[in-house]
């Protein structure tokens, strides 16, 4: 099954390494370097098997290619996945990160990485010990610009504004019911921005500490996970893991638009048709969740200030999403297909 996954994939390179000291698998998938060196986060989590980890890496790497291709930024798409055993200890984990960094360094700039699920900026400091200069988003104490999460949240927030403008002819979020799934660095940041803009924010979460904080301390309405899809709202913002939009869940949705930061939100690509058939506007995830990667690369390689990075992210997401919505309406296609066409057009052009 592993070889068939790789044979069917249209990317450029897949590196798979078994880490004998921990039993972990390190996968680096480079989907495209047409627009520039491959950039993508490192994700660390436990998987059911190597096949599941590889599938995740390949899909995420492809998503990164299209993420940068829609606005034609000078980067390609890649992703690293470290599939760890569930009982890994902290010392073994740190050494594993150093070996991951050494592999990245060995690739000589083919792939540059930052944090993703299960990886923090402090972890990037460890990876950079052996992976420098191809490791980004380290802590400020280590010379980096910290977590990309707030910038990703800003891009998603901008996407919500554009969606509201499309739906209601008004980008204002005041009084809009917005349900955020997941309260991590992206979801939590999005909640803060939405609240400041006057939205009526609801949230869904499985982590008990996060539930207590946002429900009891912040005072937000908590939605049980089993009621996630049937809860009425203007905007549903999935900001946890992907694959949550399927034929079954889409049929339950009680929202006007889906605008969230999670990668690969559709279980299968044709689910975009199901969403359109229900008249629910969709902001393609890779169009609006570009902010973290874009801002960190801009600040760490192009000299952007933090304020400039925020301005660039907001403008990039707004312009790209408006273009996607306009093309979808003009051609009578899904917004997912519109984003794909724009990306493919940019990828077909000479550098």
State the catalytic residues.
79
In this structure, what DSSP letter does residue 220 have?
Answer: P
Let me know: does 163 contact 188? Beta carbons within 8 Å. no
Q: Per-residue b/e over 93-105, b at no fewer than 16 CB within 10 Å? A: beebbebbbebbb
Q: How many helices (H) and strands (E) does the chain have?
A: 13, 11
* 256 within 8 A of 235, measured Cβ to Cβ: yes
Burial class of residue 241, CB neighbours in 10 A (0-12, 13-18, 19+):
middle
CA 128/CA 119 separation, integer angstroms: 13
In 3-state terms, what secondary structure has residue 16? Answer: strand
Strands 111-115 and 221-222: unpaired
- Give me the residues paired with residue 111 across strands: 38
* C-alpha span between 179 and 240 (Å, rounded): 12
Q: Which residues contact 350 (CB under 8 A, 6 or more apart)?
A: none
Which residue has 């809009």 as its token pair? 176
């Amino acid at each position: 099954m592993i070889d068939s996954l790789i044979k069917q994939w249209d990317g450029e390179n897949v590196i798979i390494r078994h880490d004998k000291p921990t039993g972990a698998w390190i996968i680096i998938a480079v989907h495209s370097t047409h627009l520039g060196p491959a950039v993508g986060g490192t994700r660390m989590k436990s998987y059911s098997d190597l096949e599941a980890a590889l599938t995740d890496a390949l899909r995420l790497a492809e998503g990164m290619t299209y993420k940068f291709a829609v606005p034609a930024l000078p980067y390609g798409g890649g992703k690293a996945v470290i599939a760890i055993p569930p009982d890994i200890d902290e010392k073994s984990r740190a050494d594993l990160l150093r070996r991951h960094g050494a592999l990245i360094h060995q690739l000589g700039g083919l792939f540059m990485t930052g944090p993703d699920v299960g990886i923090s900026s402090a972890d990037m400091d460890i990876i950079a010990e052996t992976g420098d200069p191809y490791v980004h988003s380290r802590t400020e104490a280590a010379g980096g610009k910290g977590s990309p999460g707030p910038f990703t949240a800003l891009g998603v927030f901008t996407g919500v504004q554009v969606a509201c403008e499309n739906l209601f002819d008004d980008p204002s979020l005041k009084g809009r019911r917005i349900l955020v799934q997941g309260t991590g660095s992206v979801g939590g940041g999005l909640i803060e921005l939405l609240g400041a803009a006057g939205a009526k924010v609801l949230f869904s979460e499985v982590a008990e500490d996060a539930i207590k904080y946002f429900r009891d301390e912040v005072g937000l309405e908590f939605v049980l996970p089993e009621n996630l899809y049937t809860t009425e709202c203007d905007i549903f913002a999935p900001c946890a893991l992907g694959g949550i939009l399927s034929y079954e869940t889409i049929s339950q949705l009680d929202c006007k638009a889906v605008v969230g930061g999670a990668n690969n939100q559709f279980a299968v690509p044709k689910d975009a048709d199901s969403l359109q058939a229900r008249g629910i506007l969709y902001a393609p995830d890779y169009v609006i969740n570009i902010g973290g990667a874009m801002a960190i690369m801009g600040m760490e390689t192009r000299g952007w200030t933090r304020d400039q990075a925020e301005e660039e992210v907001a403008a990039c997401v707004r312009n790209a999403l408006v273009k996607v919505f306009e093309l979808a309406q003009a051609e009578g296609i899904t917004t997912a297909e519109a984003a794909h066409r724009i990306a493919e057009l940019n990828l077909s052009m000479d550098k």
